[in-house]
Amino acid sequence: MKITLNNRAEELDLNQPTISIEELLALKSFTYKMLFVKHNGVVIKKEDYPVTNVAEGDNVEVIHLMTGG
């Protein structure tokens, strides 16, 4: 499955047509404690990561948020 992840083309080797945001974060080792996710331009709430599916051609942005201000 080909997607765009943080503005880079990414090819995922999957046995299924879609992958949840939660699975994608684990697969790509996004281990930051605090982050937010945009899927096809829409901000996805953390509680919706397991039920939001990423499919062929989708655009996902994962942004690390850090303390300071």
Q: Is 8 in the site for another protein (CB under 8 A)?
A: no
In 3D space, the residue among 14, 58, 12 whose CA is nearest the CA of residue 37 turns out to be 58
Of the candidate residues 4, 24, 45, 54, the single one contacting another protein (CB under 8 A): 45
- What is the nearest approach in angstroms of another protein to the Cβ of residue 49? 11
Element (H, E) at 21: helix 21-27
Q: Are strands 2-5 and 59-64 parallel, antiparallel or unpaired?
A: parallel
Q: Is 51 in the site for another protein (CB under 8 A)?
A: no
Please say which residue, 14 or 43, places its beta carbon nearer to another protein: 43
Rounded Cα distance between 1 and 42, Å, is 20
Which residues contact another protein (rule: CB under 8 A)?
33-36, 38, 41-43, 45-46, 61, 63-69
